[in-house]
Structure 1
Amino acid sequence: MNSTAPPLRFSFSSLPDEIITNCLARVSKSQYSSLSTVSKKFHSLLSSPEIHAARSEIGATEPRLYLCCESLRTTTRCYSWYNLRNLRNCDEIKLKSNLRLVPVGLTGRLQQARLAVGYEIYQFGGITNKKSKRVRSVCVLDCRSQTQRRAPKMRVARKSARACVLDGSIYVMGGCRERECWGEVFDLKTQTWKKEILPIPSVGDDEFKFDREFEVLVLGSRIYVITKGNKYAYDRKEGRWLLLDTRFAGLQSILELGTVWCVLDNLVFKEFSDELYWYDLSCGEWLMVEGLADLLWDAKVKCSFRMIQLVNYGGKLMIIYMSRVVRKETTWFAVIRLEKRLTSSQLAIWGEIEQLDYLVRWSFNPLTCLSVSL
């Protein structure tokens, strides 16, 4: 009598955790909510630090937008962080949006300097709600676990400071009182403040007014400080500022009231008069980004709109803008893929809309929008 062996049954959950983690790391982050319901083991692995380490190792991290918003429904100022979910491809746009802002249970202060580094968001200084005093505190948001921790305090209290990251260090500048430490440096690896102190940007007879409005940006291996009077670059080896030539004069326009801008691929992008421009350092002028007529311009006859944020979204440009028709206000989120083209011996940049979605009349005012890598 012949007998057949029972078929072998294979269970994915029976594999070692390391193999399961490596497999799950290759799945899009947008599927994690559904996969977490498969089993307790999946839920544990998908929320562990190991899954992010595995995604980083194989280059599978994805950008996620986090927004620090002021609530418009409360009498007292309240600042909370939200994660943007379900952003759709532009060819999937329907009359009904599926976009969601998910609260992550983390808070912020007014007039903080905020900066995204990898999967974390650093918040420096700010003011207290009651006495409006500057504070020295540094709060770090871990966007993997949606938790926050305290980092070592700054040397001096700051409000409305500027911050940037370069070569494993965060540079925090301004926002303090005169005669205090104008700039200091935080080492990301050791999580400590360096002994290095940044002097006030001034060269020779040039004077930098201590309370003057300024912006900070990183291009290549240099930190730039843009003021209404002059432009400076920081020489990290010599610990001093260099005064820049007239090629950088056009960057002063990012100081204008209401201007939104960001740095992407060592280029500066900004909005001006409902158009999107990029800055060419070689000739010192702003040039228009081509190919974005379908994004905003067709809507001019139907509604009024304004850009409120530009964000480096994982190497692509995210434009956040608001449109208004009668009393209906809509916030749009557009992800733009940028391409450099050489036309008539001149470099041009073209944009193509990859993702687009919207929220209608939500009761939060976005103060800061940052892209983290998860």
Structure 2
Amino acid sequence: MKNSTAPPLFHVHEPSSPSFSSVPDEIAANCLARVSKSQYRSLSSISKGFYALLSSPEIYAARSQIGATEPRLYLCCESLRTDTRCNSWYNLMSLISNCDDDEIIEKGDAFISVDGAEIKRRTELRLVPVKDSSFHLRARSKEANLAVGPEIYQIGGINKKGKRSRSVCVLDCRSHTQRRAPSMRVARQDAKACLLDGSIYVMGGCGERECWGEVLDVKSQTWKKEILHIPSGDDDEFDCKFEVLVLGSRIYVITEGNKYVYDPKEGRWLLLDTRFEGLKSILELGTVWCVLDNLVFKECSDDLFWYDLSCGKWVIVEGLEDLCYTRVNCRYRMIQLVNYGGKLVIVWLVLPEPIFRRNKPPVIQEEKTCFVVIRLEKRMTSSGLVIWGEIERLSFSLVHGSYNPLTCLSVSL
């Protein structure tokens, strides 16, 4: 007689591991928001659900809420490939990877020796075109560009008819889409824009003093009724060369003739005293500057300086003796000095120069856009405040002679 086992009355299911897809979107977004954005491309390939969540507004809201946003560089370039020149945006999100040195080296980084000092260098960056569907997102010439969180405001410029424009477009760097914002009251080109307390101040570029500046409330997306009138100055013209910067709760306007400060709470302009006289040098051709931690920095003659208001003088940033060697034996054009999430990035274009060889045709080097990332540190000494800098990374992107870099901005993603 054969022994037989009776089949079970009920099928018993083995417990299975819970799937991440079964987690509510709100919790999933909160978890994924803590992952570096440099890993999002890999995570998006796991499933359609991951792709949808990682590209949704919820993930960016969660990153902002927990303070996990990361800076990303966007470069506006003029294309030289066609007869009709146009400006387009490019993404440089691979400039800095949140990984340790071993991982960085495996991804193609190397070390270069600059007069005895070792500087990390990524061998090459890629200019990734910012596209909406299959089209490059365009930028108008002579427009004002301003980064506001994860967005870039493109203000005014030259329209298709060759005239000043009132148009305002917003590039959302989270979804790489473009939308229209309310138009300005006045058409402007070569204007300056700054952000203060949730409002965008657009100044100049209209040729008329009586409508010199206007203000956009970012939250309500409405232009305020009042127009900013710059004070009359004997040495100033309606549309002279000028720069606008924000220090603390005030807006500073530096012109070739005078220096003004505007207090939005008081709604009035004041002339600045002689301590600000040295800021006029940011108007000089070839000088790049930016504001970081309420201090004004500028790059000039291969050195980095900060402006000391206590004495009204430019002071060199210590510890950057090797900065000049990053551009040794080459012609270059400065592009921008960028506040990169609390660090400074210096951007310049290396211009091609022929290398002559005996009995051989000259070799033309390729153009490349170079980026130096600098970490800054404040130190109090017996003689006062001293600022030290350290070069963290030297990176470059080959331009191949078809792009002319114009503007570089840092957004928070």
Under TM normalisation by the shorter chain, which class is it?
over 0.9
The one-letter amino acid of 1:40's match is: K
Q: Which of 353, 358, 367 is the aligned partner of 2:391?
A: 353
Structure 2 residue 293 is the aligned partner of structure 1 residue 270: no
5 Å-filtered alignment, 1:42-57, equals 42-57=50-65
1: CA distance, partners of 2:267 / 2:299: 33
Q: Which residue of 2 aligns with 1:236?
A: 264
Q: CA deviation at 1:299?
A: 5.0
Q: Hey, what does 1:151 align to over in structure 2?
A: 181
Change (3 A) 1:190 1:168: same
| Equivalent residue in structure 1 for 2:334, among 307, 318, 325 | 307
Residue 337 of structure 1 and its aligned partner are, at CA, apart by 1.1
1:149 and 1:349 map into 2 onto residues whose CA distance is 41
Offset, 1:7: 4.9
Structure 2 match to 1:102: 128
Instruction: Provide the rounded CA distance (Å) in 1 between the counterparts of 2:47 and 2:287.
Output: 48
Contact 1:261–1:270, Cα closer than 8 Å, also in 2: yes
- Secondary structure of the residue aligned to 1:196 is coil
1:200 to 199, 209, 230: 230
Aligned to 1:209: 237
Query: Alignment partner of 1:86: what SS?
Result: coil
Q: Deviations over 1:121-158 (max 9, x none)?
A: 111110124x3200100111111111111111111100
Distance 1:145 1:282, change over 3 A: same
Partners of 1:305 and 1:121 in 2: CA distance: 27
* 138, 155, 161: which one aligns with 2:191: 161
SS state of the match for residue 190, structure 1?
Answer: coil
User: For 2:326 and 2:399, how far apart are their aligned partners in 1?
Assistant: 21
User: Is 1:319 paired with 2:346?
Assistant: yes
CA distance in 1, matches of 2:170, 2:399: 30
Report if the CA contact (8 A) 2:286-2:333 is conserved: no
Q: Which is higher, the Rg of structure 1 or of structure 2?
A: 2
2:275 corresponds in structure 1 to: 247
Q: Which residue of 1 aligns with 2:39?
A: 31
Answer with 114-123 or 95-104: which moved more. 95-104
In structure 2, relative to structure 1, the CA distance for the partners of 1:273 and 1:98 (3 Å cut) is closer
Q: CA deviation at 1:344?
A: 3.6
Runs of 4 or more consecutive aligned structure 1 residues displaced over 6 Å after TM superposition? none
Structure 2 Cα separation of the partners of residues 315 and 56 of structure 1: 16
User: Normalization by structure 1: what TM-score?
Assistant: 0.93
Identity %: 71
Partners in 1 of 2:14 and 2:36 — Cα distance? 36
Q: How does 1:291-306 map to 2 (within 5 A)?
A: 291-297=319-325, 300=328, 302-306=329-333
- One-letter amino acid matched to 1:97: T
**Once structures 1 and 2 are overlaid, which stretch shifts more, 159-168 or 177-186?**
177-186
Work out whether 1:342 is the aligned partner of 2:370.
no
Structural mapping, 1:76-115, within 5 Å: 76-88=84-96, 92=105, 93-94=109-110, 97-105=123-131, 106-115=137-146
Superposed CA deviations along residues 336-372 of structure 1, whole A, max 9, x for unmatched, are 1110112342211111122332113432111111100
SS at match of 1:296: helix
Give the Cα–Cα distance (whole angstroms) in 2 for the partners of residues 161 and 88 of structure 1: 31
- 1:305-364 CA-to-partner distances (Å, cap 9, x unmatched) read 453210011111111123456432332112211101123422111111223321134321
Instruction: State the number of aligned residues.
Output: 369
CA–CA distance in structure 1, aligned partners of residues 327 and 166 of structure 2: 45
**What runs of 5+ residues in structure 1 fail to find an aligned partner?**
none
Give me the TM-score of the superposition, normalised by structure 2: 0.84
The answer to whether the 8 A contact 2:158-2:189 is kept is yes
| Amino acid corresponding to residue 127 of structure 2 in structure 1 | L
For 1:195 and 1:68, locate their aligned partners in 2 and report how far apart those are by CA, in whole Å. Answer: 31
Q: CA RMSD in A?
A: 2.2
Letter in 1 for 2:342: G
Amino acid at match of 2:149: G
Alignment check: 8 A CA contact 1:200 1:208 kept: no
Is 1:189 matched up with 2:226?
no
